[in-house]
Amino acid sequence: MRVSPTALTLLGLAITIIGALVIGSGYPVLGGVIFVVGSALDGLDGAVARASGKAGPRGALIDSVADRIGETAVWGGIAVLVVDQYWATYWGRRLVIACLFCVAGALITSYLRAKADAVGADGRTGLVGRGERVILMGIGLIGGWIGPMIMALLVLIWVTVATRFWMLWRRLGP
């Protein structure tokens, strides 16, 4: 098909953002499906880059930034959904705050991986990387388990942050 890896990354990002908008509009199942499709497309870019001999640092940079933008957009869509559907409940405000902590933890997870890679350490330690987060978010959105998904990811993401931080702390020495 001769589709460039960068085109797949940007198409995946565009579809993911559309999914985030649909989620925030009150349609978590449809938005979740769109988000998973966008993430799956984005997941192909690395394989296409390697297969076509186009893998390089610029493509990796575009992919990494697109991943952060897409995940932040989806967490934003989930937060808006929670405000619209659960705000008046006991858990409503807490779930919005949890969404903010989830996006912060996801960004810190990525940052710690980059720092670890920069010093030659394994930056993929911990319970949930981006792939696992995408799967769990997709299951929660499509299955209608918004609150449990948010709370489970809150714990898993921050355990991952702590694990990566501790691993990197030990690797850096005194």
Q: Which positions are annotated as active-site residues? A: 67
Distance CA 38, CA 82 (A): 22
Long-range interactions of 148-153: CB distance < 8 A, separation 24+: 150/78, 150/82, 150/95, 150/98, 150/99, 150/102, 151/95, 151/98, 153/102, 153/128
Q: Is the sign of the CA dihedral 139, 144, 146, 152 positive or negative?
A: negative
